[in-house]
Amino acid sequence: MEVMAAVMLLAITLTVIFSLRDQAVGRAANARSIAVATRMAQGLMHRIECGLAAELFDGMEGDFAEEGFAPFQYRIGLGEGSLVASENADTDSPEYAWRRSKEEAWRESEDAAEEDTLAQPPRTRIVIVVQWPDFTNETAEFRLESLVETWAVRQDFPLWEATWGSAMVEEIE
């Protein structure tokens, strides 16, 4: 009887230990994936900020296969009206209201009035969504948002020159 109780206690203990080990391995894999997704999204955001993302458009998709992370895919949203940017967006949040008020104030300002009707605000909202299959084969996602100088997003080098002077515009172009 004592041997059966000891074996049952050992079986329960081993089951719990293996379950905890599997959870720990899954969490470690998830943490690594989040770290990779963060670095990839930041690298892409830096390329956009420097004006090095050629032919950038709203809804642009791709992967990080060249960097060795093929399972990680990205989508880029440009501007407040982007479908990528508005997914899971809390339009009632104070930050969203603040951004909307800043853009409306710019559109009503003298700078916008002097330009044509298609004038762009000085900064454009960029949303990068990185997705990857997690250890349970469900899709996990990381979102990175930033306000980027519009000249970099639109690759408007005359605007860059007007803003920053003639420092190395040819090299960037």
| SS3 category, 126 | strand
- Alpha helices (H) along 50-156: 83-86, 94-108, 110-114, 150-154
Per residue in 64-98, pLDDT (tens digit) is: 998 899 899 999 988 776 766 666 666 666 766 76
pTM of the model: 0.67
Per residue in 35-50, pLDDT (tens digit) is: 999 999 999 999 888 8
Selected residue with higher pLDDT from 167 and 52: 52
Selected residue with higher pLDDT from 31 and 53: 31
How many alpha carbons lie under 13 Å from residue 146 in its C-beta half-sphere? 17
What confidence score (pLDDT) does residue 32 get? 92
What confidence score (pLDDT) does residue 117 get? 41
What confidence score (pLDDT) does residue 91 get? 63
Closest C-alpha among 137, 127, 149, 104 to residue 33: 137
Per residue in 101-150, pLDDT (tens digit) is: 766 776 676 555 555 544 566 788 889 999 999 877 889 999 998 888 87
